[in-house]
A and B are shown apart, each in its own frame.
Chain A
Amino acid sequence: MINLLPRYLFNFVILILLQVLLLNNLQFSGYVNPYLYILFIITLPFSTPKWLLLVLGFITGLIIDIFMNTLGLHASATVFMAFLRPFILSSFSPRDGYEVGTRPVPSDYGFGWFFKYMGIMVATHHLFYFFVEAFDKELFMATLSKSIVSTLVTVLFVLIAMLFAKRDSNTL
């Protein structure tokens, strides 16, 4: 467990830097806002205590919020996603549960499993985020399409990130 610490610390820093320096500057259109940083929460080990999931989600979200001047928005969405993670994981679990010492990554449970799990997590986060962001003014359909398009793009970026991680299955 403890030997995972430097690896996750590295993931944390790299994902936040990627998010604030590169992805936030991608400007395809007003509809596409990929948020790759949540991959940090998605890939935390199964044995992570539930309370720690929430705390880490809050800290990650708050750091992104500070960089983007959106205090509270990303924090709330990431905490929401972290809260649902145990339920999503248990609904996707194999017949005899998850093995000790494994992590929710494609190299441990296969690409198909990871794709489903990650897709649901990303969609949860993005729906929550875009609806809280629009809140009063914007139309329901516009927000919904924004969430869906952004979810697809984020999933695409996660897959790209996983390609980079494949060479050395220890990262991510």
Chain B
Amino acid sequence: MRNFIRFIIRNHFLLLFLLLEIVSFYFIFNYNQYHRKVYLSSSNQVSGYLYERFSSVIQYFELKRTNEELARENAELRNQLDKNSFYAPMLPEIEVDTVAAQQYRYSAARVINNSVNKHFNYLTLNKGRKDGIAPDMGVISSRGLVGVVLNTSENYSTVISVLNTRLRISARLRETGFFGSLYWDAGSYRYATLSGIPAHATPLVGDAVVSSGYSSIFPENVLIGTIDKVTIDQGEGFYEIRVLLSVDFKNLEYVHIVEKLEAQERLELEKLSEDD
């Protein structure tokens, strides 16, 4: 026993080093267990406060661009309204039905921290539990899909960005309806990769890639990007498609958080069939 203690004392530097490295790597490989812990993420009170104060100074430099973006979005929404009112007279009166009930609720939030050049990019938003934000809600901007809420504290939330190698999104080709899985391969922040589109589909450069609506996170048909390059290896059954993302992650100021109103019901239903 005394020899053992002497051994520890003599090698305490090496042993402490090994211990701390083991703890660190345990954190790295079990990030799934720990990323839900609010105090270990950027949405905790201290870092959230810091990020918010700092970004509220920076945002003044972005006001012009933010205004232009809002005007553009307003025009787009107005176009949609016009389209609706043009068709409206031709439709018969719709009876009130739960099918027509509001399915998604949107709330605006400001991006207070963001990165595009890391391997695992996250955003921090200035809305939290207090504003009804919960993990697994979708985040979109006026230009397209941004990410998924990972963590919420009282006033802040952490969002896992599309530009994060740990996120995969179910995506669909808008023209042909084939769907696959979209992920980021840590290269340029402008491009992501779509895989799982079968070889008999005919994806064309310029086609839109949208969210599939199979998950309860995003509404259907939220724009993700457009096809930039299509490749298929000899003998492979699936295309590998490079997608030009529609959101410019370097210039993200305001985003919308999407809450699916019957998500709970749907998840419970799906869980039932999973258990069988």
Contact = CB atoms under 8 A, between A and B. Distances in A.
A55 B23 CA distance: 12
B77 to A, nearest CB: 30
Contact of B25 (A66, A72, A138): A72
A61 B21 CA distance: 12
B271 to A, nearest CB: 28
Nearest to A57: B20
B47 interface: yes
Instruction: Using C-beta atoms within 8 Å of the partner chain, give the interface range for chain B.
Output: 35 or more
A91 interface: no
B41 interface: yes
Contacts of A75: 20, 23-24, 27
Nearest to B186: A138
Contacts of B34: 71
A69 interface: yes
A70 B20 contact: no
B117 A70 contact: no
A71 B31 contact: yes
A48 interface: no
A93 to B, nearest CB: 18
A50 interface: yes
A50 B13 contact: yes
A99 B178 CA distance: 71
B13 A54 contact: yes
Interface stretch (B118-126, B204-212, B229-237): B118-126
A51 B16 contact: yes
Contacts of A70: 118, 120
B189 interface: yes
Contact of A73 (B28, B114, B122, B189): B28
Given A51-B12, A72-B27, A33 B117 contact: yes
Interface in A125-158: 132-134, 137-138
B188 interface: yes
Contact of A67 (B17, B26, B42, B119): B42
B250 interface: yes
Contacts of A76: 21, 24-25, 28
Nearest to B159: A69
Interface in B173-213: 185-189
B47 A20 contact: yes
Tell me the interface secondary structure of chain A in the complex.
helix
A83 interface: yes
A41 interface: no
B117 A29 contact: yes
Nearest to B115: A24
Nearest to B122: A69
Contacts of A50: 13
A137 B186 contact: yes
A67 B31 contact: no
B35 A71 contact: yes
Contacts of B122: 68-69
Nearest to A79: B20
Contacts of A30: 116-117, 186-189
A71 B186 CA distance: 18
Interface string A26-65: 0111111100000000000000001100110110010001
A51 B188 CA distance: 40
A134 B119 contact: yes
B54 interface: yes
A66 B16 contact: no
A54 B24 CA distance: 12
B24 A61 contact: yes
B50 A69 contact: no
Q: Which of B26, B114, B115, B117 has the most CB of A within 10 A?
A: B117
Question: Nearest 8 pairs between A and B by C-beta?
Answer: A72-B27, A76-B24, A72-B28, A69-B122, A75-B24, A83-B17, A72-B24, A71-B27
Given A29-B117, A58-B20, A72-B24, 12 more contacts: A20-B47, A20-B50, A25-B115, A27-B117, A32-B117, A66-B39, A66-B47, A69-B41, A69-B158, A71-B34, A72-B26, A73-B28
6 contacts: A21-B50, A51-B16, A65-B27, A66-B47, A69-B122, A133-B120
